[in-house]
Every structure is written in C-alpha cells, then in structure tokens.
C-alpha cells in the first residue's frame, strides 16, 4: 500500500512539473479517487465539494469545504480560496465539478484537480465519507 501511495505521489509530482512548463492557463486534471487520497495526504490542498448543502450533509469527504456550484454566490465564494494552493473539486458524479473547474480557471487558479466520477466513485472504491449532523 505504501509503495502504491508513493508511486501515485511521484506520478502527481511529475504531472505537476510538466504542467509548470505549459502556458499560463493550465487545464484541470481529472484524477482517480486513489490519486485524490494521495493528494489529501500531502496536507497542502484545498478540498472543495461543489454539491448543494443538503447533499454535503448526507455525506462528504473528510475536511472538505462546501461551496455550492449552483449558488448565485459561487464566483464570489471561490475568491476566498488560496490561489497558491492546489485545489481538488468534486460533486456527485463529475458534471458540476467539471463546470466549476472552468470558473476556477477564470478566477486565476492554476493547479486544479477534479475527482473522476465524483463522490459516487469515491464511495464505490471503498473510501470513507463523513456525515454532518
């Protein structure tokens, strides 16, 4: 397991290094639940759940922050995030998070990761979710 996590971390570092050589606007990277788990363990990422508050309360990834993509204040809310830190976004299945990555790019974020398959795939792969009271 440790070897797999290390391999994923090195893979992500390689992707990031190659991404630094691209033009100023980089594309969001779609990553697997295993890659997200490795990124979270690095402790220098912002984890954003872009589902509704009701969906968030029903179950979310531990330490995620809820910023509802469907909210009229989404564009303003993302401005409170640190543009210097990597950001991981996810939703239920991937559509809202894909749309939110475009807004994040427009806002000046450059290191953006999108959880492939959303929280549905996260749970399908056996990763835990936290429920709010």
* 13, 31, 60, 85 from 118: Cα distances, Å: 22, 10, 10, 21
The catalytic residue among 28, 88, 89, 91 is 91
DSSP 31: E
Beta-bridge partner residues of 113 = 29, 88
* 17, 29, 111 from 75: Cα distances, Å: 28, 20, 17
- The alpha-helical segments, DSSP class H, found in the chain are 2-20, 33-41, 53-58, 74-78, 95-106, 118-124
Active site residue 91: yes
Tell me which residues are annotated as active site: 91
């Amino acid at each position: 397991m440790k070897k797999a996590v290390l391999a994923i971390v090195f893979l992500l570092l390689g992707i990031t290094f190659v991404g630094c050589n691209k033009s100023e606007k980089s594309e969001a990277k779609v990553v697997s639940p295993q890659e997200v788990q490795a990124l979270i363990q690095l402790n220098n990422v912002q984890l954003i759940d872009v589902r509704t508050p009701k969906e968030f309360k029903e179950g979310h990834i531990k330490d995620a922050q809820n910023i509802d993509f469907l909210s009229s204040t989404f564009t303003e809310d993302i401005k409170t995030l640190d543009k210097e830190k990597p950001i991981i976004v996810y939703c239920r299945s991937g559509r809202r998070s894909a749309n939110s990555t475009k807004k994040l790019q427009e806002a000046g974020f450059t290191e953006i990761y999108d959880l492939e398959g959303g929280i549905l795939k996260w749970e399908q792969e056996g990763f835990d979710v936290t429920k709010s009271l």
